[in-house]
Copies of this chain bind each other. A is one copy, B any other.
Amino acid sequence: MSQPNYESRRNRVRRQFRGAGIDGLIVSGLANVRYLTGFTGDSSWLFLSRGRTVLLSDSRYETQLANECPDLDVEIRDAGATIQDLARTAVTSGDSRHPGFEADHLPWSTAQQLIETVRSGSSVELLPVSGIVEGIREVKDRWELAEIREAVRIAERGFGVMRSSLTSHQTELEVREILERAMKDFGGSGTAFEPIVGVGPTAALPHAHAGRLQVQESSVLLVDWGAARPSGYRSDLTRVLFTGRVTKQMERVYNVVLAAQQAAIAAIQPGARLADVDQIARGMIADAGFGRWFGHGLGHGFGLEIHESLRMSPISDQVFQPGMVITVEPGIYLPGKFGVRIEDDVVVTKDGFELLSSLPREFESSFVEFLA
């Protein structure tokens, strides 16, 4: 499929100006800049007004910008100037009187300096705004969906290699290495994040680092991983494998998590509230007596970043729309013993949902037999 239409994305941002009370926007969030320009470097801001598009960067990126964004106006600073200097000139020399800045991305001190330097020398007033580009990014276009599907496919193939080469003596770190390597071989440009590979007690840590535990030191192996495409788009999956004797408690925990996940996924459709879908899974886990051991949100948006603005949690006020992409990942973590989390990637369709990931998740399909 062809490249994204960046100009059309920027015009979607412009159409939000009036509602946000602004007539321009300094985009400083790294992924937001990439989404609106295709530029893959950092330390660069995009200024949009009704009539102007200009990327503010520095000389390290001059050639890269000419390659990646040949149609964009670019202002380059040298080592004697700051990006705030460029921004001040851009916002005070054009057609904008009330430009916004991204209040969720600029640090307080940078924003405050910028507000003051702009105010002191002009009649332009900078205004804080939140979530404009992120809101547009919540709904994926066809090109983005194709990239995400490919990132899921690479992750699933990588998992297949890892699973089929698993031995009882491998450490968490060795398993992670095999998984990472396989995803690269299948066309990933890297991992979507540092993969979690947790044996037993490590699996009970929702955000564990892979370490030196061997697979044989517990019956539970949790793997939370994803692939990143060269385009930046990602996937995010979790599976639990049983590698030894499975206790009744393990089976019960696994099936509670799976049932909660399946019920939550089935409730995803346009118009559904994210907090309500969260509550379906959270309620089922609490009813089964494990509420104390599920403390994180049910899922999050992803795409160019591994965590984007959608959040399924009790305090979310968001509502599903077609084209939104989200993880569904309930978990139960029994400290010092083991943890189970099952995570799939879902896209909201016109009348419901579509699962983007297809690895088996039934209890019976989670058993690993080692060679003798």
Residue ranges of A at the interface with B (Cβ–Cβ < 8 Å):
40-42, 58-64, 76, 78-82, 101, 103-112, 128, 130, 177, 184, 204-209, 278, 282, 295-297, 313-315, 333, 335-336
Contacts and interface: CB of A to CB of B under 8 A. Distances in A.
Nearest to A314: B80
A217 B237 CA distance: 39
B335 A296 contact: no
17 contacts: A42-B207, A59-B295, A59-B296, A60-B207, A61-B205, A61-B206, A63-B204, A64-B207, A76-B295, A79-B278, A79-B295, A82-B315, A101-B108, A104-B107, A105-B107, A107-B107, A108-B111
A205 B64 CA distance: 7
Contact of A107 (B82, B108, B315): B108
Given A63-B336, A79-B314, A207 B41 contact: yes
Nearest to A66: B335
Contact of A60 (B76, B104, B184, B296): B296
A78 B130 CA distance: 25
B103 A207 contact: no
Contact of A128 (B58, B62, B112): B112
B80 A108 contact: no
Contacts of A297: 79
Given A59-B296, A314-B79, A64 B112 contact: no
Nearest to A41: B207
Given A207-B60, A295-B59, A109 B130 contact: yes
Contacts of A111: 108
A137 to B, nearest CB: 17
